[in-house]
Amino acid sequence: MTDTSEESSGLGELTAKQYRALIEQTSDVITVVDAEGTIRYQSPNSERVKRWPPEELIGENILDYVHPEDKSRVIEQFSALVEGSGVIKDEIEFRFRTKDRGWIWLAVTGAAPGAEVPVDGYVTTSRDISRRKAYEQRLVGQRDDLETLNGVVRHDIRNDLQLIAGAAETLEPHVDDDGQELLETIQESASDAVSLTTAARDLAEVMLRPDDTTDSIRLMGILSEQVDALKSSYPNTTVTVEEVPETTVQAGELLSSVFRNLLTNAVQHNDKDVAEITVSGERAADRVTVRIADNGPGVRESMKDDIFGKGEKGLESAGTGIGLYLVQSLVESYGGDIRVEDNDPTGAVFVVELQAAE
């Protein structure tokens, strides 16, 4: 039988010297304070982490070094350690004043004295998390900037583009044959730009979502809505909806953006006089598959793995690449999958697989 005792493991009883060596080698700072917060012990690496030599902190009250805005929270959690639970289960994060009067962020855990902590005082372990906090602050700033940009895209730019499109439509009867081609260019560019702002808006919404919560979404309702919208925007397009199961899928409110972008993509990247689109679907077990097929130029084999990449235009056209990147991001966030296949005799088929909700 194998001996699993502490002695046979080669550990045995650690001497006081060995304990001290372990404390000195750890990257965290070990501090012992009494019930009032007076520092009784500070490990040697205090100067490296807290910017204070240990001897200068011993006898000081640790609360005097806590940032005023964080002090009440630290007192509350430390009081729980003293009065009841015996441990600080969750790290306390607060700013700590250094010797040069600057501030660093510390993450601190603690334990009360007892059988497992035979120390005359409350033992805390501190580590410097200043870099992580700085990164979090940058993320907050970037999120604020993204929200501002999203507002500009959703309102200012989109409104101006719709005014341009409306003015071009009003101008159409007054343009002679020589200017007709230029007017069509203006109309197409305005329409594409509106589509771009819609995709950018939806992508910003995805990035700003606090979580990835999903719900039961009726598939046919979303598809019908987006097919009708496509017919309204592109009246010369032929759209055929084959049998789609009356079922619900696990998705979010932006599922409409998935199908809007795929349908619009099938028109904008089409090289035929009349874009022909076929929408079909089926359910197998707990998966629902939707196929959007077109008669366009198709997707080269070498591009199929990369076409959903951010900024990948693909399809030999002037697309922005945002739409397909958004589609993949949304579908994957819903626990689904998307791929592109060849259509017969020509064109592409975008295949969306989603989780059934019932």
At 249, the amino acid letter reads: V
2-47 pLDDT, tens digit each: 444 444 334 445 555 655 666 666 778 989 988 888 999 998 888 8
Per-residue confidence at 337, pLDDT binned at 50, 70, 90? Answer: very high
Per-residue confidence at 208, pLDDT binned at 50, 70, 90? Answer: low
Q: Region 87-93: what's the mean pLDDT?
A: 77
Which residue reads 């005792």 in tokens?
5
Instruction: Let me know if residue 198 belongs to a domain.
Output: yes
- Residue 115's pLDDT is 58
- Residue 185's pLDDT is 87
Is the pLDDT assigned to residue 202 strictly greater than 50? yes
Greater model confidence, 132 or 197: 132
- Residue 39's pLDDT is 94
Residue 121 sits in the same domain as residue 243:
no
The CA distance from 165 to 172, in Å, is 11
Greater model confidence, 140 or 336: 336
Per-residue confidence at 253, pLDDT binned at 50, 70, 90? Answer: confident
- What is the number of structural domains in the chain? 3
- Residue 347's pLDDT is 94
Q: Which domain holds residue 356?
A: 212-358
Instruction: Let me know if residue 151 belongs to a domain.
Output: yes
- Residue 281's pLDDT is 94
Residue at which a domain ends, from 208, 226, 256: 208
Residue at which a domain ends, from 208, 227, 257: 208
- Residue 318's pLDDT is 37
- Residue 292's pLDDT is 97
CATH number, residue 111: 3.30.450.20
Query: Which range is least confidently modeled, 53-67, 115-129, 310-324?
Result: 310-324
- Residue 306's pLDDT is 80
Q: Region 152-181: what's the mean pLDDT?
A: 83
Instruction: Let me know if residue 139 belongs to a domain.
Output: yes
**Residue from 256, 180, 182 nearest 223 by CA:** 256
Q: Is the pTM of this model over 0.75?
A: no
Residue 160 sits in the same domain as residue 202:
yes
Is the pLDDT assigned to residue 94 strictly greater than 80? yes
Instruction: Let me know if residue 7 belongs to a domain.
Output: no
Is the pLDDT assigned to residue 213 strictly greater than 80? no
Instruction: Let me know if residue 243 belongs to a domain.
Output: yes
Residue at which a domain ends, from 149, 183, 208: 208
- Residue 23's pLDDT is 61
- Residue 64's pLDDT is 95
Q: Region 88-116: what's the mean pLDDT?
A: 84
Q: Region 248-262: what's the mean pLDDT?
A: 90
- For the chain, what is the HEC assignment? CCCCCCCCCCCCCCCHHHHHHHHHHCCCEEEEECCCCEEEEECCCHHHHHCCCHHHHCCCEHHHHECHHHHHHHHHHHHHHHHCCCECCCCEEEEEECCCCCEEEEEEEEECCCCCCCCCCEEEEEEECHHHHHHHHHHHHHHHHHHHHHHHHHHHHHHHHHHHHHHHHHHHHHCCHHHHHHHHHHHHHHHHHHHHHHHHHHHHHHHHCCCCCCEEEEHHHHHHHHHHHHHHHCCCCEEEECCCCCCEEEECCCHHHHHHHHHHHHHHCCCCCCCEEEEEEEEECCEEEEEEEECCCCCCHHHCCCCCCCCCCCCCCCCCCHHHHHHHHHHHHCCCEEEEEECCCCCEEEEEEEEECC
Mean pLDDT of the residues in the chain: 82
Query: Which range is least confidently modeled, 146-150, 266-270, 301-305, 317-321?
Result: 317-321
Examine residue 345 and say whether the peptide bond preceding it is cis (omega within 30 degrees of 0): yes
